[in-house]
Every structure is written in structure tokens, then in C-alpha cells.
């Protein structure tokens, strides 16, 4: 599938293509366990039968129509408490790709979804390993809907559905990997504060009032930011509250 390596220093220079696998993140961990992965190693799957998302959700896609890959990184410069800054950098890299084809409407839904006009078109799952105070390695899984046009979930969409065009996946994958490297190197050079400001500018529902489900109750709230460890800050019931990934659910208003 990939016949040309991306124009990068290290991300994607070791590239493993699998016609089919259960999960590219799982394959990445297997390579790490066997000490066969360089920093920046990328695993690309034509078909992924058991892709994982947050809260144990599965990510099932049609074969050879979407981006399904994992990147192995060794961000030993990041302390464990800073790990959400890696999520921000990768999210911005994915947004860079989407905005090239969707100049309006693309956004980042906390903590790790790619959205366009209230519909999901991709997701990110980062699995970190910690050694002492610092990250040891990270497996960055990304799924982006590209050429698929039928979905079981009514709120899923793709580049093809939004633009009416089909896209060459190898080209898009290389652009994505090049963007990830740019964003990652900027993070390593100390751009975390600037990247966080940019992330908030593109955060889905940022500074808008919407409904959320918290503890079985549906309440109005306003997203005001994300704290240093990645908790979502929401103004709710006249006070600022902070939520972990599993503690708040976005209510989609018709």
C-alpha cells in the first residue's frame, strides 16, 4: 500500500504495512516487547478488525478505505504529568491534515476525537509507558475516516462524504506523518504552551453552553479549558468543575 516513505527525519522511516490486523496499537506493543521498533516506527493496516477507542469502544472500518495506523514514540523528555501535551500535539497534527481538505468545520472533541460539524470522523488513542517520572514510550493510534461512505453509526462521517471526492490513502498517510513529526518536534522544543492555546482555539464546544451528562444527570455547562493533566474544565452549576475522561458525557442536541 505504502510505496513511498514520508519526508521526515524519523517518523515513518521504519514502516510496517499489514494487510489486516486486529489493532495497530497491539501490533506496536508486540514490536516494542521484542525490541524491534525504532523511535518513530509506524504500523499501517489496510484493515483493522478490533481497533480500540476510549472507554473500550471498538473502531471498525471498511478495508482499505481509511487511515488506521499507530506511531511508536519515545518522548522521554515529557514527565508523566505532562502526557496530555502529547495528545494535544498529535491532535493538532491530525487537524492539520483535515483542514487541508476541510477549511471550515473541523474541530477537536475532548479528549481525543476528530469532528466536523457535530459528526465524528476520527479518533486518537495514546497508550503511554512510564519509567520513574518520565514517559518511556508512547503508542499513538490514529483512525481517520477517508473514503468510506456508509457507517453503522449515524454520527460518523468521512472526507469522502463531506467533499464528494475519493483520496489516495498513501499520500494522506505521508502528509499525516509529516505533520505529526513537525508537531512532535515543536513540543520537544518547548512549544507546549503555544500548542495548548492553539488546541483550545479548535476545541469542540469551547466557551459555548451545551448539555452534558454527569453522574446520571443532564446539566448545562460551558467548556472553559483543559488543565495540565488533561482534565476538562467545565463551568457548571455556577462553579468550575474538572472531569476525567469517563466522568462526563457530551449530550448531542438535535
The confidence score (pLDDT) of residue 60 equals 59
Mean pLDDT estimate for the chain = 94
Q: Which three cell numbers stand for residue 69?
A: 495506523
**Structure pTM?**
0.95
Q: What number of other Cβ atoms are within 10 A of residue 95's Cβ?
A: 22
The confidence score (pLDDT) of residue 248 equals 97
Q: What beta strand segments (E) does 100-193 contain? A: 106-109, 113-116, 119-131, 134-144
Interval 75-134: pLDDT, tens:
999 999 999 999 999 999 999 999 999 988 999 999 999 999 999 999 999 999 999 999
The span from the CA of 9 to the CA of 178, in Å, is 9
Interval 15-65: pLDDT, tens:
999 999 999 999 999 999 999 999 999 999 999 887 655 445 555 579 999
| Domain boundary assignment for the chain | 15-201, 209-250
What distance separates the 2 farthest-apart alpha carbons in the chain?
55
Task: Say what percent of the chain tops pLDDT 90.
Answer: 88
Binned at pLDDT 50, 70 and 90, residue 136 comes out as very high
The confidence score (pLDDT) of residue 252 equals 87
3-state DSSP helix/strand/coil percent for the chain, to nearest 5?
30, 35, 35
Provide the CATH topology of domain 15-201: BirA Bifunctional Protein; domain 2 (3.30.930)
Q: In a 10 Å sphere around its CB, with 0-12 CB exposed, 13-18 middle and 19+ buried, how is residue 252 labelled?
A: exposed
The confidence score (pLDDT) of residue 54 equals 45
The span from the CA of 59 to the CA of 55, in Å, is 12
Contact 69, 142 (CB under 8 A): yes
Q: Report, as an integer, the average pLDDT of 159-166.
A: 96
Binned at pLDDT 50, 70 and 90, residue 148 comes out as very high
115-128 CB burial, b ≥16 within 10 A, e <16: bbebbbbbbbbbeb
Amino acid at each position: 500500500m505504502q510505496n513511498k516513505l514520508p519526508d521526515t527525519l524519523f517518523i515513518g522511516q521504519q514502516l510496517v504495512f499489514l494487510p489486516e490486523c486486529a489493532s495497530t496499537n497491539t501490533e506496536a506493543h508486540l514490536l516494542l516487547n521484542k525490541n524491534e521498533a525504532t523511535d518513530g516506527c509506524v504500523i499501517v493496516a489496510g484493515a483493522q478488525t478490533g481497533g480500540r477507542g476510549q472507554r473500550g469502544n471498538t473502531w471498525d472500518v471498511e478495508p482499505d478505505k481509511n487511515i488506521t495506523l499507530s506511531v511508536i514514540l519515545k518522548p522521554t523528555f515529557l514527565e508523566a504529568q505532562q502526557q496530555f501535551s502529547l495528545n494535544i500535539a498529535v491532535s493538532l497534527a491530525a487537524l492539520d491534515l483535515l483542514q487541508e481538505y476541510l477549511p471550515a468545520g473541523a474541530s477537536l472533541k475532548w479528549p481525543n476525537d476528530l469532528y466536523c460539524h457535530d459528526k465524528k470522523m476520527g479518533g486518537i488513542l495514546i497508550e503511554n509507558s512510564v519509567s520513574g517520572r518520565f514517559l518511556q514510550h508512547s503508542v499513538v493510534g490514529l483512525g481517520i475516516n477517508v473514503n468510506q461512505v456508509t457507517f453503522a453509526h449515524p454520527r460518523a462521517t468521512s472526507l469522502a462524504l463531506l467533499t464528494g471526492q475519493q483520496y489516495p490513502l498513501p499520500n494522506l498517510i505521508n502528509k499525516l506523518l509529516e505533520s505529526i513529526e513537525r508537531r512532535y518536534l515543536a513540543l520537544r522544543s518547548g512549544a507546549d504552551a503555544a500548542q495548548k492555546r492553539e488546541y483550545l482555539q479548535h476545541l469542540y464546544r469551547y466557551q459555548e453552553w451545551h448539555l452534558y451528562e454527569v453522574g446520571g444527570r443532564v446539566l448545562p455547562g460551558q467548556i472553559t479549558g483543559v488543565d495540565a493533566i488533561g482534565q476538562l474544565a467545565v463551568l457548571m452549576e455556577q462553579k468550575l468543575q474538572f472531569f476525567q475522561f469517563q466522568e462526563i458525557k457530551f449530550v448531542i442536541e438535535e
